[in-house]
């Protein structure tokens, strides 16, 4: 039967053929004859959650050649990856979807949304004249960049704290077929307070400055960086950037009608285990409650069933009382639970998508 497992040396060439130029740590789905028919890459990421940082899984590079699509291989691959993460003690797995509906059907929920802006650089002229200095940086400045990004992401669920290798090889490095991004930082009194990473590309709309990452520790840094982008008005026709889901930039520019602004769905998240997710949640000290919870999970049988939840003193205990998964305790339960939820919505609640 189809299966999931590590990609060994004998399958490495096939893995690269399927994945093409995407970077990967190899995992694959195999058909009944042991042929590699689907691949993905797994990451372990340091991400902020509630009041600290936790290790989450990152699933990427999911690919299946056309001749093997719509045969359920991605479903097998995703289930195998989730099971492997659960065995490692990783509770949350995130991904950037090629299709939000596709992964929603597999139990992932949208973690947050973002705003994509596209505007002429002259519309950012309001930010010119900030005190401080913008200067070019290099990958050797990764620690300074990380300190700013961590400060910028404070209070934002699942913001990343990237390792040196991640900064050098993925954030600041050149991907196959692409140039490395330009790296500029905003300094005040020698202290790095913001940075921007960007590339300049040509498309049907002309030359576009694509901001890959922008972070600032304060309002001065915001003005310093956006004023710097405005100064590209003789070089590019448009600036394209992402911000957290907001429309604040429309209130700052001279002509909001010159700005294209749209809200997009961002990364998606999923629990590997219901009990682990609920028990890891920071419950308020004053909550003292017991309830039954029915969870529907289209992919993991262990999560698909009914659970008894007890919360007291800031801690929760969860016991499976009905589940379709092998090895899970099964006892007689009432037909209806106090709360019924799908695993995607439960995952969103755990990471704080909804208050």
What CATH number has the domain bearing residue 296?
A: 3.30.1050.10
At a CB cut-off of 8 Å and minimum separation 6, what does 189 contact?
none
Predicted local confidence at residue 176, as pLDDT: 76
Region of poorest pLDDT, from 80-84, 253-257, 318-322: 318-322
Judged by phi (left if over 0) then psi (alpha if -120 to 50, else beta), residue 132 lies in left
Same domain, 76 and 145: no
The answer to whether residues 63 and 127 belong to one domain is no
Domain end, chosen from 57, 90, 123, is at 90
Domain annotation covers residue 194: yes
Q: What is the rounded (10 degree) CA torsion for 135, 140, 144, 148?
A: 80
Is the pLDDT at 308 greater than 60? The verdict is yes
Asked if residue 189 and residue 306 are part of one domain, the reply reads no
More confident residue, 76 or 261: 261
Question: 216 and 143 in one domain?
Answer: yes
Nearest CA to 208 out of 232, 231, 244 is that of: 232
Residue 209 lies in a domain: yes
Q: Which pLDDT band, with edges at 50, 70 and 90, does 243 fall under?
A: very high
What's the CA gap between 262 and 281, in Å, rounded?
A: 32
Note whether 211 and 156 are same-domain residues.
yes
On whether both 18 and 131 belong to a single domain, the answer is: no
Distance CA 342, CA 264 (A): 23
The verdict on residue 10 lying in a domain is yes
Instruction: Give 203's strand partners.
Output: 206
pLDDT at 155 (0 to 100): 86
Q: Produce one character per residue of 58-94: b if its CB has 16 or more CB atoms within 10 Å, e if not.
A: bbbbbbbeeebeeeebbbbbbbbbbbbbbeeebbbbb
* Domain contains 97: no
Per-residue model confidence (pLDDT) at position 34: 65
CA 186 and chain centroid, separation: 26
| CATH number of domain containing 243 | 3.40.630.30
Per the structure, the complete domain to which residue 317 belongs is given by 277-341
Does residue 98 belong to any structural domain of this protein? no
Mean per-residue pLDDT, 21-25: 43
- Is 258 in the same domain as 118? yes
| pLDDT score at 204 | 84
The structural domain count of the chain equals: 3
Q: Residue 7 pLDDT > 60, yes or no?
A: no
Same domain, 49 and 179: no
């Amino acid at each position: 039967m189809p299966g999931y497992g590590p990609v060994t040396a004998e399958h490495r060439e096939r893995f690269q053929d399927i994945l093409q130029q995407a970077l990967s740590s190899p995992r694959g789905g195999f058909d009944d004859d042991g042929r590699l028919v689907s691949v993905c890459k797994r990451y372990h990421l340091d991400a902020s959650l509630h009041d600290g940082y936790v290790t989450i899984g990152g699933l990427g590079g999911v690919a299946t050649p056309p001749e093997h699509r719509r045969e359920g291989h991605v479903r097998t691959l995703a289930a195998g990856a989730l099971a492997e993460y659960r065995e490692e003690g990783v509770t949350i797995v995130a991904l950037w979807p090629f299709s939000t509906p596709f992964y929603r059907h597999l139990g992932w929920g949208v973690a947050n949304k973002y705003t994509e802006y596209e505007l002429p650089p002259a519309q950012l002229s309001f930010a010119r004249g900030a005190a401080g200095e913008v200067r070019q940086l290099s990958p050797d400045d990764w620690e300074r960049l990380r300190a700013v990004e961590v400060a910028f992401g404070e209070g934002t669920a699942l913001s990343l704290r990237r390792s040196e290798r991640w900064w050098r090889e993925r954030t600041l490095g050149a991907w196959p077929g692409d140039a490395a991004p330009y790296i500029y930082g905003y300094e005040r009194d020698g202290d790095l307070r913001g940075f921007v990473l960007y590339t300049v590309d040509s498309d049907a709309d002309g030359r576009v400055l694509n901001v890959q990452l922008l972070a600032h520790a304060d309002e001065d840094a915001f003005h310093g960086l956006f004023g710097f982008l405005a100064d590209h008005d003789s070089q590019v026709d448009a600036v394209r950037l992402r911000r957290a889901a907001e429309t604040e930039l429309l209130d700052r520019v001279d002509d909001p009608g010159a700005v294209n602004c749209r809200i997009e769905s961002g990364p998606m998240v999923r629990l590997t285990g219901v009990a682990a997710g609920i028990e890891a949640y920071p419950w308020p000290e004053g909550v003292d409650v017991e309830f039954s919870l029915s969870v529907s999970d289209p992919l993991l049988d262990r999560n698909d069933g009914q659970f008894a939840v007890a919360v007291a003193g800031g801690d929760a205990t969860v016991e499976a009382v009905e589940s379709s998964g092998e090895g899970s305790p099964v006892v007689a339960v009432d037909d209806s639970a106090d709360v019924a939820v799908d695993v995607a919505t439960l995952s969103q609640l755990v990471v704080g998508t909804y208050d």
